[in-house]
Amino acid sequence: DGGITQSPKYLFRKEGQNVTLSCEQNLNHDAMYWYRQDPGQGLRLIYYSQIVNDFQKGDIAEGYSVSREKKESFPLTVTSAQKNPTAFYLCASSIRHINYGYTFGSGTRLTVV
């Protein structure tokens, strides 16, 4: 079955360390997205990519980096420059069409210890 896989589900990071969250999809979707969700909050867009080897900053890109070397993969690196990285991170993918919904992964919960 096609879907989008995020790993790991839980991640612990020491302050000052970079950490990379994985997102893989086998839906043949062109577009992929990273969102951050804080407790009781909505979703905020970090980065998105419409095609391979291209990506754009979202609303809260500072302290994060991404790459899109393959259509299937869109990893997110949370760098030590991100001041408050503890959050729930969601990856999504979609066909580039106004009527098409997103498919979301099950999320990665990152905790800084």
Partner 1 sequence: GDSVTQMEGPVTLSEEAFLTINCTYTATGYPSLFWYVQYPGEGLQLLLKATKADDKGSNKGFEATYRKETTSFHLEKGSVQVSDSAVYFCALKVSSGTYKYIFGTGTRLKVLA
- Which residues are at the interface with partner 1 (CB under 8 A)? 6, 31, 33, 40-43, 45, 48, 50, 56, 90, 92, 94, 96-107, 109
When the beta carbons of 33 and 72 are compared against partner 1, the nearer one is 33
Q: Could you tell me the smallest distance in angstroms from the CB atom of residue 1 to partner 1? A: 15
Structure tokens at 83: 């001041």
When the beta carbons of 43 and 112 are compared against partner 1, the nearer one is 43
When the beta carbons of 19 and 29 are compared against partner 1, the nearer one is 29
Structure tokens at 88: 């729930």
When the beta carbons of 60 and 80 are compared against partner 1, the nearer one is 60
User: How many angstroms separate the CA atoms of 74 and 92, rounded?
Assistant: 10
Q: Could you tell me the smallest distance in angstroms from the CB atom of residue 34 to partner 1? A: 12
Strand partners, 44: 36
Q: Which residues contact 5 (CB under 8 A, 6 or more apart)?
A: 22, 23, 24, 25, 105
User: How many angstroms separate the CA atoms of 88 and 108, rounded?
Assistant: 6
Q: Could you tell me the smallest distance in angstroms from the CB atom of residue 16 to partner 1? A: 28
Q: Could you tell me the smallest distance in angstroms from the CB atom of residue 113 to partner 1? A: 19
User: How many angstroms separate the CA atoms of 87 and 110, rounded?
Assistant: 6
